């Protein structure tokens, strides 16, 4: 097969061709690829252009949301029917995901857009950039099933490799789907989807929200242990929760209202989530199991134990689900509304008639430990754990759905 090589385009032509793709953007990165043989490896040259409206004058500069460290890669496969090499995956890594409300540092909370010009027609793909404190996640567009949480929101791709010689990337605006992850009321965020929350091995799950309230991985004796994450057949990372292992969160200020949401794959009955009095373990001080699977049905309730239990008569075992609840302010003597959610959908609500817990300082959180103050089961949880979100407010139905859509990845 003849080797094909594209020369790099002169800078003035780069600017000209890019201006035809985009205008009035925050930052533009041009990636010019050279095909280096039948393996189809791309060499990428990256240039950041700020003040895009002035591109005709040749302005080039770096910005707070720029190309430093950004790499663009693609995967090529041979199609035996067409006898051509096809680009089936394009990935962008090293995007600065830091979030700054003033837009000074990082691209977190914005939208990443890729333009693919082929035979004079430009196709676009977009990603939401989740806000975080690091830059090493990879955003992908694929013609197959991509299990990256950061897979494209747009159509899949399969392009003749000989036709793909240049791409353009731009970062612009604020991503509406990930806005719920920039909410100032997000108190705790653990997610195995992000490597600086859990690298894949260790004894701590790190908090990515606000003031860090990290979690310990513990055994049945409530001793911190080191463990390794697993990956299921569809690419989801998880920690196994069982009678021998659970996750305990350090204390956070006791919110007056709250939302608890967890990405889990239930496999049997048991406690999913308990609230604890301050910096204690589940068998010391006060403790309150609030989400359980009992006889294969979901149950919800907050203290005290005379409150009515909200039962959801559906079996959610053996599948990935975002499970949790919202509850209005915990004012002693006032009724509050408890609303249960599964996969972004309101599945039921009831009235919790009292809040008698006197602890007003801080609470900690236990994911999957046994609890004698329970909803009918009380045994240790039996599920795969991926993520945990605690908000100091009752999210709206729209906000819960947005969080589900922003974080579902391959868990659908």
On whether the CB atoms of residues 328 and 337 are closer than 8 A, the answer is: yes
In 50-193, where do the E strands start and end? 71-79, 84-93, 111-118, 121-128, 138-142, 159-160, 166-172, 186-191
Please say if the pLDDT value at position 342 is more than 80.
Answer: yes
Mean pLDDT of 130-147: 71
Mean pLDDT of 358-382: 87
Name the pLDDT band for 353 (thresholds 50, 70, 90). confident
Identify the residue with better confidence: 45 or 279. 279
Residues 53, 58, 64, CA angle at the centre, nearest 5°?
A: 65
Please say if the pLDDT value at position 54 is more than 50.
Answer: no
The SS3 assignment for 406 reads: helix
Mean pLDDT of 326-352: 89
Please say if the pLDDT value at position 41 is more than 80.
Answer: no
On whether the CB atoms of residues 21 and 117 are closer than 8 A, the answer is: yes
Q: What is the pLDDT of residue 259?
A: 96
Q: What is the pLDDT of residue 70?
A: 73
Please say if the pLDDT value at position 262 is more than 90.
Answer: yes
Read off the pLDDT of residues 214-232 as tens digits, 9 standing for 90 and up: 999 999 999 999 999 998 8
On whether the CB atoms of residues 264 and 272 are closer than 8 A, the answer is: yes
The SS3 assignment for 15 reads: helix
Q: What is the pLDDT of residue 23?
A: 44
Q: What is the pLDDT of residue 384?
A: 97
Q: What is the pLDDT of residue 199?
A: 87
Q: What is the pLDDT of residue 4?
A: 29
Rounded to two decimals, the pTM is 0.75
When computed from its CA atoms, the radius of gyration of the chain, rounded to whole angstroms, is 24
On whether the CB atoms of residues 366 and 248 are closer than 8 A, the answer is: yes
Please say if the pLDDT value at position 69 is more than 50.
Answer: yes
Q: What is the pLDDT of residue 369?
A: 95
Q: Quick one: CA dihedral 172, 173, 178, 179, positive or negative?
A: positive
């Amino acid at each position: 097969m003849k080797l094909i090589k594209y020369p790099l385009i002169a800078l003035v032509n780069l600017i000209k061709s890019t201006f035809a793709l985009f205008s009035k953007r925050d930052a533009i990165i041009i990636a010019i690829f050279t095909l280096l043989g039948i393996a189809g490896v791309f060499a990428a040259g990256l240039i950041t252009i700020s003040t895009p409206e002035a591109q005709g004058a040749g302005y080039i500069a770096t910005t707070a949301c720029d190309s430093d460290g950004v790499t663009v890669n693609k995967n090529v496969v041979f199609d035996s029917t067409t006898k051509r090499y096809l680009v089936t995956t394009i990935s962008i890594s090293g995007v600065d995901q830091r979030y700054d409300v003033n837009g000074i540092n990082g691209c977190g909370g914005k939208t990443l857009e890729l333009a693919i010009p082929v035979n004079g027609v430009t196709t676009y793909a977009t990603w939401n950039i989740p806000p975080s404190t690091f830059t090493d996640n990879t955003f992908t567009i694929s013609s197959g099933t991509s299990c990256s949480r950061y897979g494209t929101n747009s159509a899949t791709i399969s392009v003749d490799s000989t036709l793909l010689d240049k791409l353009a990337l731009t970062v612009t605006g604020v991503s509406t789907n990930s806005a719920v992850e920039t909410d100032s009321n997000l108190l705790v965020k653990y997610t195995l989807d992000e490597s600086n929350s859990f690298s894949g091995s260790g004894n701590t799950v790190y908090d990515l929200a606000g003031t860090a309230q990290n979690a310990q991985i513990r055994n049945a004796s409530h001793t911190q242990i080191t463990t390794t994450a697993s990956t299921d057949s569809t690419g989801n990372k998880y920690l196994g929760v069982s009678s021998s292992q659970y996750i305990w969160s350090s204390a956070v200020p006791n919110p007056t209202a709250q939302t608890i949401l967890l990405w889990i794959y239930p496999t049997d009955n048991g406690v999913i989530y308990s609230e604890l009095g301050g910096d204690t373990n589940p068998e010391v001080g006060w403790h309150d199991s609030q989400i359980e699977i009992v006889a294969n049905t979901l149950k919800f309730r907050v203290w005290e134990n005379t409150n009515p239990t909200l039962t959801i008569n559906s079996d959610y075992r053996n599948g990935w689900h975002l499970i949790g609840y919202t509850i209005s302010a915990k004012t002693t003597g006032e009724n509050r509304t408890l609303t249960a959610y599964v996969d972004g959908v309101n599945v039921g609500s009831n009235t919790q008639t009292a809040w008698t817990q006197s602890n007003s300082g801080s609470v900690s959180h236990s994911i999957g430990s046994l609890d004698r103050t329970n909803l009918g089961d009380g045994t240790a949880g039996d599920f795969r754990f991926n993520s945990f979100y605690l908000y100091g407010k009752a999210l709206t139905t729209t906000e819960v759905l947005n969080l589900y859509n922003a974080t579902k990845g391959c868990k659908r």
